[in-house]
Each structure stands twice: as C-alpha cells, then as structure tokens.
Amino acid sequence: MAKRCLFLAAFMALGALGIDDVSNASGASTCMQMKLVKDNGKDAVPAIAECLKHGAGGVLQLLPGTYHLLTPLVIDRPVSIETTPIASGQTCSKFTGAHCAVLAIGQMPPELAPGVMPIEIVARNVRLQSLVIAGAGSYDSPWQHRVCLDPHDRPLGGGVRVSADNFQMANVLLKGVSCYTAMEVSAGVKKIKLSNNVIVGNGNHENNMMWADGITIHDAEEAIIENNIFRDNTDVQLILGGCRRCSIKNNKFYHSADFKWASFAELMLHAWPTTSGNFVGSITSGNSVNCGQNKRCGYGIMIGGEPWYSSKAYGGAVTGNTVKNALMGLNVDRLTGAMTIQHNIVKGSGGVAISDCGKKYWPSVNISPRSKEFLMSNLKIYKSMETGKCLLGRVKNN
C-alpha cells in the first residue's frame, strides 16, 4: 500500500512543464496543440501546458485518441479535462475505453524528479471526466523493477496524486499502473469527489513490491467516494488513513481468478504511522465486495492495520455492507475509539489459509480483544483474536 507523499519539492525541477495563470475566457476549447500530438507517440505534456496557458477557458476538451505522457504532468490551475464526443452515441466508455481520450503514461526517467507521480494535481478545483488514464504497467520489466523497487522512485510507477481541495473525478477508467497506487490523495485534502469511475488492473500481486493500491487516501475531510468499481487492484483496492465527515458508499469490489490480480484487502479504514485514523462523522455503507470463488483477497473489510503494523481507527459507522468470498470477511484489529459496525453481511468467507504467522483457521468475522470495548454493534457471531503480523493473502492458497 502507498504509505506517504514524497518529495513534493521536486516540482521545482519540473517548472518548465508547469502551467501559468488561468485564462478568464469562458467555454470549452478543443486545442489545436492537442490535435498535433494525438496518436503520434510524442510527449503531449508541453502541448497540454500550452493549451491551458493560452485560453482553454477552464475546460480542455480532448478528441478521442492517445496522448502520451513521457514527462510528469503538473496541473496547477483550475481546469476540467474531458473527452469531446465526436458523434452521436459515441461517448467515452469508462468500461472499455472506447471513444475516449487516453492519457497514456510512459516510462518516465526516475532521475527527472524523485518521489513525483506521473500526474500531479496541485491546484484546487480540478476535474477529470470521461477519460482513460493508462499506466505504464505493460512496459518492460527492467524499467518496472528499477522504479518500483526503489522507495524514492516508486511513486513514478503509479498514476495520479491529488494535493489540493475540491478535486473531482467522474466516469474515468484508471488502469494499468506498475506499482504504488493508481491514485493517491495527500493528507489534508478536503472536499474531493470520486464517483462512477472504474479502477482496474493496477500492479501485480505475484511479484513482491509490484503491488498497487486502487485509491489511497491519507487523511481527508468531507470526501465523497461513491459508485465506483474496483477490480484487480493488487495491494489494497481502497485504503484510507483517516477521513472525517466522508461518504464511502455503493462502491463495488471484484477480483479475477488469476492470483496476479489478488489483493491483501478490499476496503480498509486504518491509520499509517503518519495519519490520524479519525473517521468521525463518516459513513461507510452499501459497499459490495466479492473476491471470487478462489478467494483472491485477504480481508474484505479491514478496520485497523495490525496485520501490517501498529495502527488505530475510530469514529464513524460501517454499516450495511456485503462481503463474499474473502479469506477473512471482516477484520476489526484494531479500534482505539468508538465506531459503529452493524448490519454488515458476510458470506462464503473464512477457513484455513496461510498467513505471515502460519497456516491456521481464520473466522469469517473477527473482532480483536482490544477492539471489543470500543465496538458499537449488533454483532452476535464472531471470533475474537489478535491478528498482528498475520497478514493474509501474500501467497496462493489453492
């Protein structure tokens, strides 16, 4: 799982690729600069900067086609970037990528800016809509290993980092990053909205440190994460280190049968050592997890982080969610303050599996002994065990 935002000062090294003041023009612009770089394999980042600099009017429309990002793209002005429909009925498909503008991340040299992600959102009020963002995961192994096995360079193997308030993403297909995370939201960001997106096929669970989260949120406020589809993201599909007054609702989580598309967890509320674990005022409900008949996820819903490291979580409500076919359906380890957990349905989960602390029987629902005093719940049937350092899902169990 992506653990921290690194080296934001490295933006200074990318100044030549930055974007100047916002134009006051109104309306949308299909920029001629972008037509020149569509589908030609050249770096589209300078053209994007020029289009935004010279009057995109707050909306930059891209014709369907491929726009290669061969250097990091830093967006430091309010803008909406979206696909322009070219014919009636040919709108961008978030499921297949058909009729979409594709921002195709290339193999960026890590010496450009250690710690920077390929797309950096540093301005308030940025919106990405009806696009495909495709990572560099299909590229050659030497580059992936060079980037993903170095903690300083690893973010470059990911996708998008959001470091400013009021970001929105809707109807976007986000796929194929090599490692780290497809999208990272920095600590302190407020009022983001991620809705109706498909986040799929990021990382590779079979290869150590080539895992990738789907979406990683460090410590947010008033975030809305609703009606998204997460499939085959290979570290944790959706992970939060704290989120106050947030809505995490009606998301769907799936896995394919192949172990390379497995995960350690699907939906995780916890704290990294640098985040709060504060979920006061947040509602996590109506989410559906199905890890498949091969049980390709370790934990369906994970509250706390003890299988990885000492952690905490408190506040809010986790209610009305459904988990199927996880090695452990619901694991609460551990709470450090009151949290309401009730009316969740767990099916087809638990059983004998290998963990970092050996092969043993795991319950479908677990509330650790240290968490029980903080639990506000109607749970009647569960086991109570500590799961510290007992990470599930690292190896294939069938």
Give tens-digit pLDDT for 192-217: 999 999 999 999 999 888 999 999 99
* Residue 10 pLDDT: 43
Q: State the pLDDT confidence band at 30, using cuts at 50, 70 and 90.
A: low
Per-residue confidence band for 7, with pLDDT thresholds at 50, 70 and 90:
very low
Per-residue pLDDT, 218:
97
Q: What is the pLDDT of residue 5?
A: 43
Residue 106 φ/ψ region, left for φ over 0, alpha for ψ in the -120 to 50 degree band, beta for the rest? beta
In a domain, 247, yes or no: no
| H or E element, residue 354 | strand 351-355
Is 360 inside any structural domain? yes
With vertex at residue 171, the alpha carbon angle to CA 167 and CA 176, rounded to the nearest 5 degrees, is 90
- The CATH number that applies at residue 182 is 2.160.20.10
Residues 210 and 315 grouped into a single domain: no
In this model, does residue 152 exceed pLDDT 60?
yes
For all residues of the chain together, what is the average pLDDT? 91
Residue 120: count other Cβ atoms within 10 Å of its Cβ.
25
Examine the domain organization and report whether 320 and 380 are in the same domain: yes
Residue 50: pLDDT over 50: yes
The b-or-e profile of 181-212 (16+ CB within 10 A means b, else e) is bbbbbbbebebbbbbebbbbbbbbbebebbbb
pLDDT tens-digit series, residues 76-105: 899 999 999 887 778 999 999 999 999 999
* Residue 16 pLDDT > 50: no
Choosing from 234, 252, 287, the residue where a domain stops is 234
Are residues 272 and 201 located together in one domain of the fold?
Answer: no
CB 214 within 8 A of CB 202: yes
317 assigned to some structural domain: yes
Any residues with CB less than 8 A from the CB of 103 and at least 6 apart, and which?
44, 67, 69, 73, 119, 131, 132, 133, 134
Phi, psi for 174 (deg, rounded to 5): -120, 110
Task: Say if 163 falls within a structural domain.
Answer: yes
Please tell me the predicted confidence (pLDDT) of residue 112. Answer: 79
| Helix-strand-coil split of the chain, %, nearest 5 | 10, 35, 50
Contact call for residues 383 and 350 (beta carbons, < 8 A): no
Same domain, 363 and 224: no
Return the minimum-mean-pLDDT range out of 3-12, 14-23, 184-193, 326-335. 14-23
Mean pLDDT of 330-345: 97
Of 194, 351, 331, nearest to 264 by C-alpha is 331
Does residue 201 sit in the same domain as residue 52?
yes
**Can you read off the two tokens belonging to residue 33?**
């600069």
Calculate the alpha carbon distances from 245 to 61, 277, 287, 336, 343 in Å: 33, 13, 17, 18, 20
Q: What is the DSSP letter of 258?
A: S
Residues 215, 318 within the same domain: no
Around Cβ 272, how many Cβ atoms within 10 Å? 22
198 shares a domain with 103: yes
Bond before 334 cis per omega within 30 degrees: yes
pLDDT per residue over 97-150, tens digit each?
999 999 999 999 888 778 999 999 999 999 999 999 999 876 678 899 899 999
Q: Within this chain, do residues 183 and 77 fall inside the same structural domain, yes or no?
A: yes
Number of CB atoms found within 10 A of residue 231's CB: 18
55 confidence band (pLDDT: 50, 70, 90): low
Q: Which two tokens stand for residue 131?
A: 């696009």
* Residue 19 reports pLDDT greater than 50: no
Q: Which helix (H) or strand (E) is 266 found in, with range?
A: strand 263-269
Instruction: Looking at the structure, tell me whether residues 229 and 272 fall in a common domain.
Output: no
The pLDDT value recorded for residue 20 is: 31
Question: Do both 137 and 229 map to the same domain?
Answer: yes
Give the number of domains in the chain. 2
Measured CA to CA, the distance from residue 121 to residue 191 in angstroms comes to 14
Structural domain containing residue 170: 1-234
46 belongs to a structural domain: yes
Lowest mean pLDDT among 29-33, 224-228, 263-267, 337-341: 29-33
Dist CA 62 CA 40 (whole Å): 14
Q: Are residues 74 and 160 in the same domain?
A: yes
Query: What is the value of pTM for the model shown?
Result: 0.93
For residue 286, tell me if it sits in a domain.
yes
CA 199 to chain centre: 7
* 353, part of any domain: yes
Q: Is the predicted pLDDT of residue 319 greater than 70, yes or no?
A: yes
- Within a domain: 392: yes
User: In this predicted structure, what is the pLDDT of residue 208?
Assistant: 85
Domain shared by 122 and 220, yes or no:
yes
DSSP 91: P
**DSSP annotation of 392:** B
**Do 263 and 300 touch, CB atoms closer than 8 A?**
no
